[in-house]
Amino acid sequence: MNLDCLVGSPSPILTPPRSRRAEIMASHISNDKRFLIFFDFDETIVDETSDDMVVQAAPGQHLPGWLKDTYQPGRYNEYMQRVLAYLAEQGVTESDMRNVMEKMPATPGMLTLLQYLRTRPQTDFEVVLLSDANTFFIESWLRRAGARQLFHRIFSNPATFNKDGRLVMRPFHSHDCPRCPDNMCKQVVVRDYVARRAQERGRPYQRVFYVGDGANDFCPALSLGPRDVAFPRREFPMHRLITETHEAMPGEFKAVTVPWANAEDVVQRLRKHVVE
Ligand SMILES: [Mg+2]
Ligand SMILES: [Zn+2]
């Protein structure tokens, strides 16, 4: 299912001075949209974890034990950089990795949800992707799915190929949130983005939506207000953390919670809001 015709040149990658952030922007974003919707990528848009899938490009489709043994808790981003270096040493190319990424299946109903967003009036949804994977994996999949142009912004760890053909990934930013891995706190990104856009627009969004699955999607969802809607994938860590928080600290988690097993459940809910 191809979602758009991919005309025009690729979006520019903007790297502001003295900033390591990878914020990939659509060429223009209008200020008249009513709703803001955030998406996670791994196990939310695609039904896999891209960092695990890339191992299929390795010789024998697995990583050697000595390399896996270098993983240290809380240092996942550095570990993944070593994995990418290993793949390059083994002769794995850009197109090998892209082929693996392009084969990842979408989660159930997700293509319907993306298609729904794409066919809404221009004034409805500003769509942002926020992921701790990397820009190369994400863009590879989105372009193949024809969904790249739906996303107005992509926030992820910047990844580009160096002259030796190695995919070099860097941390997205640094922060001091104790809940999140060193290289990315999605709540910091969500708060900064919502505040900046509200200023640019001169008004807040009617509602903010967040579709995710992981523990690192719980942190940003905590910053949502009572008019906003969190869409945690049912029985995944984000959903469990929301449920536990409701029990342990009533009132702490403010957003309306709508769990989904099929992303068509998200479409059903959005249909209610667009007629408001
Ligand atoms: Mg995820
Ligand atoms: Zn955090």
Structure confidence by residue, pLDDT tens digits, 239-265: 999 999 999 999 999 999 999 999 999
- Report CA dihedral (166, 101, 174, 153) to the nearest 10 degrees: 120
Q: Are 8 and 28 in contact (CB under 8 A)?
A: no
CATH classification of the domain holding 22 = 3.40.50.1000
Per-residue model confidence (pLDDT) at position 26: 58
Q: Are 141 and 156 in contact (CB under 8 A)?
A: no
Q: Are 221 and 255 in contact (CB under 8 A)?
A: yes
Spell out the residues 6+ positions from residue 94 whose beta carbon is closer than 8 angstroms to its own: 161, 165, 167
Q: Is the pLDDT assigned to residue 20 strictly greater than 50? A: no
* d(CA 221, ligand 2 centre) in Å: 10
Which listed ligand is nearest to 238 at the C-alpha? 1
At 200, the pLDDT band (50, 70, 90 cuts) reads very high
* d(CA 184, ligand 2 centre) in Å: 8
Per-residue model confidence (pLDDT) at position 5: 36
- Spatial separation of the C-alpha atoms in residues 42 and 138, rounded to whole Å: 9
User: CA 179 → CA 61, 108, 185, 218, 253, distances in Å?
Assistant: 32, 29, 8, 10, 15
Residue 120's domain spans which residues?
Answer: 3-48+106-274
Q: Are 26 and 126 in contact (CB under 8 A)?
A: no
Answer yes or no: is 96 a known binding residue.
Answer: no
What is the percent of the chain where pLDDT is above 70?
90
Q: Does the residue 61 lie in any domain?
A: no
Per-residue model confidence (pLDDT) at position 244: 97
Q: Does the residue 34 lie in any domain?
A: yes
Per-residue model confidence (pLDDT) at position 15: 39
- Spatial separation of the C-alpha atoms in residues 85 and 165, rounded to whole Å: 10
Give the active site residues: 40, 42
Q: Does the residue 87 lie in any domain?
A: no
At 75, the pLDDT band (50, 70, 90 cuts) reads confident
Helix (H) or strand (E) holding 161: strand 159-161
Which listed ligand is nearest to 218 at the C-alpha? 2
- Spatial separation of the C-alpha atoms in residues 25 and 182, rounded to whole Å: 24
Task: Give the pLDDT confidence of 106-165 residue by residue, as tens digits.
Answer: 999 999 999 999 999 999 999 999 999 999 999 999 999 999 999 999 999 999 999 999
User: CA 130 → CA 25, 58, 95, 150, distances in Å?
Assistant: 12, 27, 24, 14
Helix (H) or strand (E) holding 171: none
Q: Does the residue 196 lie in any domain?
A: yes
How many helices (H) and strands (E) in the chain?
A: 10, 10
* d(CA 63, ligand 1 centre) in Å: 22
Answer yes or no: is 40 a known binding residue.
Answer: yes
Q: How many domains is the chain partitioned into structurally?
A: 1
Interhelix angle 110-118/264-274, nearest 10 degrees: 30
Greater confidence (1 vs 161) lies with 161
- Spatial separation of the C-alpha atoms in residues 212 and 86, rounded to whole Å: 30
- Amino acid identity of residue 37, one-letter, is I
- Beta-carbon neighbours within 5 Å of ion ligand 1: 40, 42-44, 213-214
